[in-house]
Amino acid sequence: GGALIPVSVALEQKLQEMGGDERAAYLQEAGCVSCLPKVISSGLQALDMQCFFTVGADEVRAWGVRKGSKAPQAAGMIHSDFERGFIMAETIAYDDLKEHGTETAVKAAGKYRMEGKQYVCHDGDIFHFK
């Protein structure tokens, strides 16, 4: 069976209009939580998908890809030329970045990886495609 997730669209819209501190205070005072993370997670699971991230100087972006996809297929989600010209993916696991705090610290810990065409993407991977 499918998951049933009750959602207050009015609440979610109101939360999106607030800043981070204001949102946290409002949720604490109201004694509730946003359902969006659960909706997104359930949707990805139902569709047999996962997310990977790309990081630029001024943008972090999440991309959806089918579970079991290889790195070139993930690159192709960004642009078909990236899939055709795929050389490698500089890869950081989300949990490693969370643990170490910065890309530099991840590299210093030896957790920064160069992955080839056969690499199977994992949920939360952070890629720089070459």
* Distance between CA atoms of residues 5 and 82, nearest Å: 37
Tell me how crowded residue 104 is: count the other CB atoms within 10 A of its CB. Answer: 10
Domains and CATH numbers, the chain: 9-41 (no CATH), 49-129 (3.10.20.30)
- What stretch of H or E contains 43? helix 36-46
User: Within 13 Å, how many C-alpha atoms sit on residue 117's CB side?
Assistant: 6
Residue 57 has pLDDT above 70, yes or no: yes
What pLDDT, in 10s, does the model give residues 65-112?
999 999 999 999 999 999 999 999 999 999 999 999 999 999 999 999
The pLDDT value recorded for residue 128 is 95
- Reply yes or no on whether the pLDDT at 12 is more than 70: yes
Average pLDDT along the chain: 93
Strand, coil or helix: 30: helix
What pTM value is reported for the model?
0.79
